[in-house]
Amino acid sequence: MRAAVTGAAGFIGSHLCAHLLAAGDAVVGIDVLTDYYDPARKRRNLAEAFRSPAFSFHPLDVLDPRTDALLDDVDVVYHLAGQPGVRPSWGREFALYTRHNVLATQRLLESVRDRPLRKFVHASSSSVYGDADRFPTPETACPAPVSPYGVTKLAAEHLCELYRTTYGVPTVSLRLFSVYGPRQRPDMAFARLIAAAAGGPPFPLYGDGEQTRDFTYVRDVVVAMRDVACSGFTGIANLGGGRPVSMRQAIAAVERVAGRVALDRRPALPGDARHTGADITVAARGFGFRPRTGLEDGLAAMAAHPAPEVSQE
């Protein structure tokens, strides 16, 4: 297949590009290289992809009209571009979240609505659920985001569903649960934990540490993305690791593979869901999703490929 990947230089995007290329696909990578973290680090994320003659990279904003031509003859669009992060999404920064998560998604859907796409795969987030009242949480649970970030991801989902039901665009929104692995963004928990174990800054633990997350290894996620593109499934599906653990348990797991972690205990922050856990029945039935990577195996892979630097904020 010929695929376009937005957000190609990011954590998940760079893994997806490598996976698609290994599967024999041609890949058009699109990424505006925002300064949410070091753009040079994002370019390094694509080192493996750049070795393939089937890969081309275009440092463009999805909202730039020049992206339209890049979608010519594309079979699948993987839309991973967006403004990440729950905690920074409050206040003045919200304009960035609406631009990169909502407006960019609508612009891309408009660009593809009359094209004969095989699939439009949108990377959504478990943040759309907020503090769910059922665990594991099925897709039928009423979304109730507790952060502005979650609101924008839910809005993008609604846009995908509108274009699917109104114009027949074959969209899939995958609600990703706490993805981790090598090249994880420097602001994310496991990147900070492994850096702390290696002698970096203490890990900021917000709240009591009993909050739970359904950690999902990045390789499992990108395999599922291509699998759903090759399937007949459309709509919304959860992608989770299948075994939620508390932050205390996650810290203990990091210590077993990487060494002792110094903690900086802080109060809980608004916008952080207390618990997350994915019911993956829809994905399993729809396109054969099954998480294959255990937490400690995934953490060992991260520890073996440490990031060059980690944000301390």
Token representation of residue 214: 């359904």
**Residue 147: helix, strand or coil by DSSP?**
coil
Q: Which residues, 6+ apart, have CB-to-CB distance to 219 below 8 Å?
A: 15, 19, 181, 292, 293
Closest to 179 (Cα-Cα) out of 213, 140, 131: 213
Is the CB of residue 205 less than 8 Å from the CB of residue 265? Answer: yes
206 given a catalytic annotation: no
Residue 275 has what DSSP assignment? Answer: B
Is the CB of residue 245 less than 8 Å from the CB of residue 42? Answer: no
Residue 128 has what DSSP assignment? Answer: G
Token representation of residue 205: 């633990």
| Annotated catalytic residue, options 149, 163, 180, 217 | 149
The catalytic residue positions are 149
